[in-house]
Amino acid sequence: MRERFWERFPLEELSHEEWEALCDGCGRCCLVKLQDEDDGRLYFTDLACQYLDHHQCRCTTYADRFERVPDCVRVTARMARNYDWLPASCAYRRLARGQGLADWHPLISGDPESVHRAGISVRDAVVSETAVAEADYEDHVVRWV
Ligand code: SF4
Ligand code: SF4
């Protein structure tokens, strides 16, 4: 990877390896989100995709995630720039909006645990979507810091 690539190149010019390294491993994009039918507002929940490892905050089926979860979404530079369903802490969203990486990001700290210590990740704070009836999803709306 190129030295401090996240400061020197736009998202569109990153290599695959650099792009993957940008993910801070928070797991927040793998949470069920609810949208208000009237005003379109998005709400995060503490319900995780059934394939999220709750402690590592990583997908357990990353290579074939789109086959297993048809509505799993590939993050792109355009999406990070234009849509709000990525959390404000997300590295892709931050860079796309000119905010730079936070000091707890593993690329800055040099430690993959720093995202967990900073309380940004969903580590051990979520339940599987399969453990809750869909009618009760609204009870799981939370505000992540
Ligand atoms: S929200 Fe962004 S940084 Fe966090 S796991 Fe998802 S893609 Fe990676
Ligand atoms: S399939 Fe994997 S990447 Fe997609 S939402 Fe589920 S845990 Fe996240």
Is the confidence at residue 49, as pLDDT, over 90? yes
The four Cα atoms 102, 103, 107, 108 give a dihedral, to 10 degrees, of 130
Q: What is the pLDDT of residues 29-48, one digit of tens each?
A: 999 999 999 998 999 999 99
Do the Cβ atoms of 87 and 29 come closer than 8 Å? Answer: yes
Q: What is the pLDDT of residues 87-145, one digit of tens each?
A: 999 999 999 999 999 999 999 999 999 999 999 999 999 999 999 999 999 999 998 77
Residues touching ligand 1 (Cβ under 6 Å) are 23-29, 75, 86-87, 90-92
> Which of 32, 59, 92 most suits a substitution to test ligand 1, by most atoms within 8 Å of the C-beta?
92
Cross-strand partners of 34: 43
DSSP 91: H
Nearest-angstrom CA–CA distance, 136 and 15: 41
> Which of 31, 54, 61, 79 most suits a substitution to test ligand 2, by most atoms within 8 Å of the C-beta?
61
The pLDDT of residue 85: 85
Is the confidence at residue 84, as pLDDT, over 90? no
Nearest-angstrom CA–CA distance, 90 and 4: 18
Which residue minimizes the CA distance to atom 7 of ligand 1? 23
Give the number of the ligand closest to the Cα of residue 28. 1
SS (H, E, C) 34-87: EECCCCCCEEEEEEECCCEECCCCEECCHHHHHHHCCCCCCCCHHHHHHCCCCC
Which residue minimizes the CA distance to atom 2 of ligand 1? 90
pLDDT category, 75, cuts 50, 70, 90?
very high
Q: How far is the CA of 131 from the centre of ligand 1 (A)?
A: 23
